[in-house]
Amino acid sequence: MNKHRQVLAAMVDELIVLDANCSIILGGSMGRDEEREDSDIDLFVCFSKEPEHFTDLVGEGNRDRWHHAFSAVCGWNG
């Protein structure tokens, strides 16, 4: 599995934890199975319920969780 697919798998795992009934659509070069080393990951995510605040999903409380999931796979230090 290439690095893009590892990162995608980690992202999907985390999104499912946040909302097990969300819909995830992969687009762009990865959706066409044509990604290159410098490709990004294009996702469209439809959550099954609207959070009270979007920051509930991506805010400081979840920042460490996302950071941990991606840093192990791609060395991201953001």
6 against 69, higher pLDDT: 6
* pLDDT confidence tier of residue 32, bands split at 50, 70 and 90: very high
As a whole number of angstroms, the distance between CA 36 and CA 30 comes to 9
pLDDT at res. 58: 61
As a whole number of angstroms, the distance between CA 55 and CA 7 comes to 22
pLDDT at res. 48: 85
pLDDT at res. 31: 93
To the nearest 10 degrees (0 to 180), the angle between helices 3-18 and 60-74 is: 160
Q: Phi/psi of residue 70, each to 5°?
A: -90, -30
Please answer whether residues 22 and 46 qualify as being in contact, where contact means their C-beta atoms are separated by less than 8 angstroms: yes
pLDDT at res. 23: 92
Q: What is the largest CA-CA distance in the chain?
A: 37
pLDDT at res. 11: 86
